[in-house]
Amino acid sequence: MAKTQQVHLMSRALKNRIVSLVREITPAGIEAAQAIAGLAEPPLCEVKSSAVLERLLAGNGFAVSRPWKNLPTAFLATAGRGKPVVALLAEYDALPDCGDQPGQWGHGCGHNLLGSGAVMAGIAAAKLLKEQRKSGTILVIGTPAEETLGGKVYLAAQDAFRGIDAVLAWHPNVETKADIAGGAAMDSLLFQFRGQTAHAAAVPHEGRSALDAAMLMDVAVNYLREHIPDNCRMHCVITRGGKAPNVVPDFAELWYYLRGRDRQQVDDLRRRVCNCAKGAALATETAWKMVVNTCNTERIGNRPLTEMLDSLLHVYGPPAFSTDDARQAGKVAPKLAYSPTLDPIMTTPSRASSDEDNVSWFAPLSKLNVACVPKGTHLHHRQWAQMARTSGAHKGLVRAAEVLAAGAVELCLNAKLLGDAKADYQQNMKGKKYDLPLPKKAPPAGFKTA
Ligand SMILES: [Zn+2]
């Protein structure tokens, strides 16, 4: 299949121009990625990390608004003018226990690269459109707290993604491929129990243990596990469970992630898990309450956009890792090797979830994965965070920026492609409505950073 034929942009001259525009911004982009890796700020605390990206954008002709909408560390950066409006999504939140030292935060998901790559792509695309005197607005949207809150979920609730013609996202990965499938729909829910404190030895009969309720609830959920669809996932941590064994705990809290193929499956899981909470509260004579942290949707896949990214990957190729890159990676984890290939479009949804799938309900969206670390690197782990600071990671960063920049420009120059992407979006949205069981305010009370 002559996929590259549909890509209008890729005259050799334009490709070379994208490469050189990305090269111009690469030292600053790598510096930003390294700075954000060092900062490793928790979700909604990414004050310095977002500022690093905002400075880079502002210094390269973007008008930056921050904070944006309802999140303190979100931003909107705009360059160019007129239609179409193409958005690139940036993330920059870190993860707990992924730093070099125990207890430190770190970029165990590589969001230091993710944010910088989107910014580099936006800068290169906007410069090219300006040089060519073409109409088109490039947005770089700073979307905080992907890992725990799902910043994009709350931005979407504020209509942040309406009026955008197309959205391109990327994620550092162990493989290089476009992704049409997205991830699982998910609920992040807190279950809180309130009981009655008492001396646990002298007058236990006067107490009503919130911890008992929490543990009973989880036992019930574990029994429920047998009777849910195979693809679903339910996992939890106990965030509060009392402070001393000799005091009957009057407060306990469980934090669940419920995942399924789509919202319908997750809504049903939520209903059944709530019954577990209800039963546990009844048994222990405690009161229960559910607090919704976030709700992710399944992806509305977009074939024309995904095929465009795949075509561009064929034009630019996977990152070419050197022996020096392998040597640096070997210091983090010996025996792991980079994937040198370009893989087919990912069509099976991931078991994990991402808030960018919510954005796909508002505009045609597709996503690129680019190899930045060797295969087998532990994700959400300090090993990933360390790999995300090596020269190999920066090779992937540059390739992602090139392909995203080319994709953004392509969407501004190729009206047929954009029209096809919009038609596909309309078709896939038939009968669907974005209506999540989500609180209006963000962050919700009880939001956890870890
Ligand atoms: Zn991630």
CATH number where 63 lies: 3.40.630.10
Last residue of a domain, one of 278, 296, 314: 296
Encoding tokens for residue 448?
Answer: 């956890």
Does 419 lie in the same domain as 303? Answer: yes
How many A from CA of 342 to the centre of ligand 1? 20
Give the residue ranges of the chain where pLDDT is below 50: 1-5, 445-446, 449-450
Q: How far apart are CA 123 and CA 395, in angstroms?
A: 18
How many A from CA of 352 to the centre of ligand 1? 10
Structural domain contains residue 356: yes
Q: How far apart are CA 156 and CA 110, in angstroms?
A: 23
Which three-class secondary structure state does DSSP give residue 160? coil
Q: How far apart are CA 41 and CA 265, in angstroms?
A: 33
How many A from CA of 356 to the centre of ligand 1? 10
Which residue is listed with tokens 């690469």? 26
Which three-class secondary structure state does DSSP give residue 102? coil
Does 23 lie in the same domain as 141? Answer: yes
Which residue is listed with tokens 């893989």? 343
Last residue of a domain, one of 296, 312, 330: 296
Instruction: State the number of CA atoms in the 13 A half-sphere of 256 facing the CB.
Output: 28
**DSSP-H helix ranges across 96-226:** 111-132, 151-157, 210-224
Does 192 lie in the same domain as 173? Answer: no
Q: How far apart are CA 350 and CA 249, in angstroms?
A: 38
Q: Could you write out the DSSP letters of every residue in 334-351? A: TT-----SBPPPB-SPPS
Separation of CA 229 from chain center = 25
CATH number at residue 239: 3.30.70.360
How many A from CA of 92 to the centre of ligand 1? 9
How many A from CA of 317 to the centre of ligand 1? 23
How many A from CA of 107 to the centre of ligand 1? 9
Q: How far apart are CA 61 and CA 32, in angstroms?
A: 17
How many A from CA of 25 to the centre of ligand 1? 23
E-strand stretches of 19-122? 63-65, 75-81, 85-90
Structural domain contains residue 434: no
Domain that holds residue 248: 185-296
Structural domain contains residue 76: yes
How many A from CA of 266 to the centre of ligand 1? 21
How many A from CA of 192 to the centre of ligand 1? 28
Does 25 lie in the same domain as 144? Answer: yes
Structural domain contains residue 447: no
How many A from CA of 199 to the centre of ligand 1? 45
Does 169 lie in the same domain as 248? Answer: no
Give me the torsion for CA of 112, 444, 76, 428, rounded to 10°.
90
Q: How far apart are CA 342 and CA 284, in angstroms?
A: 56
Instruction: State the number of CA atoms in the 13 A half-sphere of 38 facing the CB.
Output: 8
How many A from CA of 135 to the centre of ligand 1? 32
Give the pLDDT of residue 65: 97
> Is the pTM above the cut of 0.75?
yes
For residues 304 and 410, the answer to whether their CB atoms sit within 8 Å is: no
Q: What are the beta bridge partners of residue 18?
A: none
Structural domain contains residue 445: no
Give the pLDDT of residue 190: 94
For residues 126 and 75, the answer to whether their CB atoms sit within 8 Å is: no
Structural domain contains residue 75: yes
Give the pLDDT of residue 13: 83
How many A from CA of 146 to the centre of ligand 1? 7
Order of strands across the sheet with 251-260?
233-240, 251-260, 185-194, 287-296
* Per-state percent for the chain, helix, strand, coil, to nearest 5: 40, 20, 40
pLDDT tens-digit readout, 76-118:
999 999 999 999 999 999 999 999 999 999 999 999 999 999 9
Encoding tokens for residue 314?
Answer: 């064929």
Q: How far apart are CA 48 and CA 83, in angstroms?
A: 32
Last residue of a domain, one of 239, 264, 296: 296
How many A from CA of 348 to the centre of ligand 1? 18
Ligand 1 (single-atom ion) residues, CB below 5 Å: 109
How many A from CA of 228 to the centre of ligand 1? 27
Does 72 lie in the same domain as 137? Answer: yes
How many A from CA of 420 to the centre of ligand 1? 29
How many A from CA of 354 to the centre of ligand 1? 8
Q: What are the beta bridge partners of residue 258?
A: 187, 234
How many A from CA of 320 to the centre of ligand 1? 23
Based on the structure, what is the number of domains in the chain? 2
How many A from CA of 144 to the centre of ligand 1? 11
Which three-class secondary structure state does DSSP give residue 447? coil
Does 158 lie in the same domain as 31? Answer: yes
Structural domain contains residue 444: no
Does 171 lie in the same domain as 36? Answer: yes
Does 341 lie in the same domain as 256? Answer: no
Q: What are the beta bridge partners of residue 137?
A: 80, 85
Give the pLDDT of residue 436: 87
Does 224 lie in the same domain as 153? Answer: no
How many A from CA of 380 to the centre of ligand 1? 8
Does 228 lie in the same domain as 105? Answer: no
Comparing C-alpha atoms, which of 275, 350, 339 is closest to residue 313? Answer: 339
Q: How far apart are CA 241 and CA 258, in angstroms?
A: 21
Does 245 lie in the same domain as 162? Answer: no
Q: Is the dihedral of CA 335, 314, 88, 424 positive or negative?
A: negative
For residues 338 and 399, the answer to whether their CB atoms sit within 8 Å is: no
Structural domain contains residue 446: no
